[in-house]
Amino acid sequence: MPPTTCAHCSTNRAVIKRPKNHHKLCRGCFLTVFEDEVHHTITSSKLFYPGERIAVGASGGKDSTVLASVLKTLNERHNYGLDLILLSVDEGIKGYRDDSLETVKRNSVQYDMPLKIVGYDELYGWTMDQVVETVGKKGNCTYCGVFRRQALDRGAKMLEIKHVVTGHNADDIAETVMMNLLRGDLPRLSRSTSIVTGDSSSDVKRSKPLKYAYEKEIVLYAHHKKLDYFSTECIYSPEAFRGTARSLIKNLEKIRPSAILDIVRSGEDMAQLTPDKGKGQCACDEGDAVGGCGSANGRTSGNELARMEASLKERPRHDSLETEISSNGPTKADDDVVQLPVRNRRPQEAAGTPLQTLGQCVKCGYMSSQSMCQACTLLETLNKNRADITI
């Protein structure tokens, strides 16, 4: 059979079948199309302004590595005028984060971007290794997720930066939508679909430029661009519920490849049905599950992605028509939106009052809807446990 030519340039040999829509593309066209789509997300959401200083939440993993690389490319290509800085949080997990931070340090040199690292140790007096030693593996993701959100915020403030971008991708968002749908938590579901999070009481906003990028395409991009990234999963326990949502979506994706984008779009449409239209006053909630890192080892459910990465490494570059997935394009709900019954409405919400009023944590001064922020509440429990153990 003659080699397939690229559907885009009709010249080069196609080496990639896009997971999103089955288009067969050559390496160069795939990289350009991927970058163009991120550029479209950025410009259509008016994510940045010229001269803006941006902290890229950099974990050394594929998503944030691709994010940093694509932002660098687009910044130069389209003259965004951004000042890009890598911001890493060292959770204090030996054999995992220390290794991935080495990758970020290399990325900092490769992309010529300054790097700032903030540690749980210095911020909270606890490393995640110590947290797990104290509370065990079960539920440790809650501590980590709460601490990380705040750590990124604090790191940005140290750098006097008001905008942090993270590598959350379409799969992450679809999982979060699904989890909140299964929980019946419409307000959180709607917040999870926003490309920008944060609120008026914090001067650090968050955004997700890879919101519409499929995880598999991110892996393909990293592979074909030969990016240096760290691919080991966190050594601590996965968020079981996210893993379940992930498996569900992966199974749906097999029979309906557009499922990931469909779920994201449906989440966006549902957000319009909530009183705050997805712009709730809750910066403590990235739309991820309460706590948790947003990725979990759901990734290993079925080990699909790990297999894909392994096979990409093994196979020669020209032989990577890997993923049998097609897309019918996202479906759009009717414009005539009907008010859906919202389950489990909270009393304040039913009374039409705002869900949360943000103030400052009495202990650390970080924004909080309670008198004490989530991180300090968790730290109180940890410190009490430490005292009990010492006694």
Ligand X SMILES: Nc1ncnc2c1ncn2[C@@H]1O[C@H](COP(=O)(O)OP(=O)(O)OP(=O)(O)O)[C@@H](O)[C@H]1O
Q: Are 368 and 358 in contact (CB under 8 A)?
A: yes
Binding-site residues for ATP: 57-59, 63, 89, 167, 172
Sequence-distant (≥ 6) Cβ neighbours of residue 111 within 8 angstroms: 68, 69, 72, 84, 86
Residue with tokens 């939440």: 57
Pick one of 69, 127, 150, 295: the residue that binds ligand X (CB under 6 A): 295
Smallest separation, CB 190 to ligand X (Å): 20
Q: For residue 118, which of 205, 201, 197, 58 has the smallest C-alpha distance? A: 58
Residues 82-101 that bind ligand X (CB under 6 A): 88-89, 91
DSSP 346: -
Give the CA count within 13 Å in the CB-facing half-sphere of 45.
20
Nearer to ligand X, 64 or 320 (CB): 64
Nearer to ligand X, 80 or 96 (CB): 96
Nearer to ligand X, 278 or 294 (CB): 294
Nearer to ligand X, 227 or 293 (CB): 293
Query: What sign does the CA torsion over 338, 339, 341, 345 have?
Result: positive
**What's the one-letter identity of residue 328?**
N
Phi, psi angle pair for 149, to nearest 5°: -55, -45
**Residue-wise DSSP of 268-327:** HHHHTTSTTTT--S-TT--SS-SSS-S-GGGGGGGGHHHHHHHHHHHS-TT---------
Pick one of 24, 48, 57, 129: the residue that binds ligand X (CB under 6 A): 57
Nearer to ligand X, 194 or 295 (CB): 295
Report if residue 292 touches ligand X, rule: CB under 6 A.
no
Of 38-46, 61-69, 70-78, 343-351: span binding ligand X (CB under 6 A): 61-69
Nearer to ligand X, 14 or 86 (CB): 86
Smallest separation, CB 73 to ligand X (Å): 17
Report if residue 280 touches ligand X, rule: CB under 6 A.
no
Report if residue 223 touches ligand X, rule: CB under 6 A.
no
Torsion of CA 54, 58, 63, 66, to 10 degrees: 60
Smallest separation, CB 64 to ligand X (Å): 3
- Site pattern 165..194 for ligand X (x: CB under 6 A): -xxx---x----------------------
Pick one of 6, 26, 54, 58: the residue that binds ligand X (CB under 6 A): 58
Pick one of 27, 47, 59, 187: the residue that binds ligand X (CB under 6 A): 59
66: its two tokens: 């691709």
- Site pattern 140..169 for ligand X (x: CB under 6 A): --------x-----------------xxx-
User: For residues 27 and 131, what is the distance between their CA atoms, to the nearest angstrom?
Assistant: 44
User: For residues 346 and 340, what is the distance between their CA atoms, to the nearest angstrom?
Assistant: 16
Nearer to ligand X, 14 or 263 (CB): 263
Binding-site residues: 57-59, 63, 89, 167, 172
Q: CB neighbours (10 Å) of residue 314?
A: 8
Report if residue 70 touches ligand X, rule: CB under 6 A.
no
Report if residue 198 touches ligand X, rule: CB under 6 A.
no
Report if residue 62 touches ligand X, rule: CB under 6 A.
yes
Q: Under rule CB under 6 A, how many of the chain's residues touch ligand X? A: 18
Phi, psi angle pair for 73, to nearest 5°: -60, -50
Pick one of 198, 287, 294, 298: the residue that binds ligand X (CB under 6 A): 294
**Residue-wise DSSP of 212-275:** T--HHHHHHHHHHTT-----PPPSSPP-HHHHHHHHHHHHHHHH-TTHHHHHHHHHHHHHTTST
Q: For residue 222, which of 37, 66, 61, 53 has the smallest C-alpha distance? A: 66
Of the chain, the end-to-end C-alpha distance in Å amounts to: 75
Nearer to ligand X, 58 or 248 (CB): 58
Nearer to ligand X, 88 or 194 (CB): 88
> Which residue's C-beta sits nearest to ligand X?
61
Smallest separation, CB 195 to ligand X (Å): 14
Smallest separation, CB 65 to ligand X (Å): 7
Given the rule CB under 6 A, which residues bind ligand X?
Answer: 57-59, 61-64, 88-89, 91, 148, 166-168, 172, 293-295
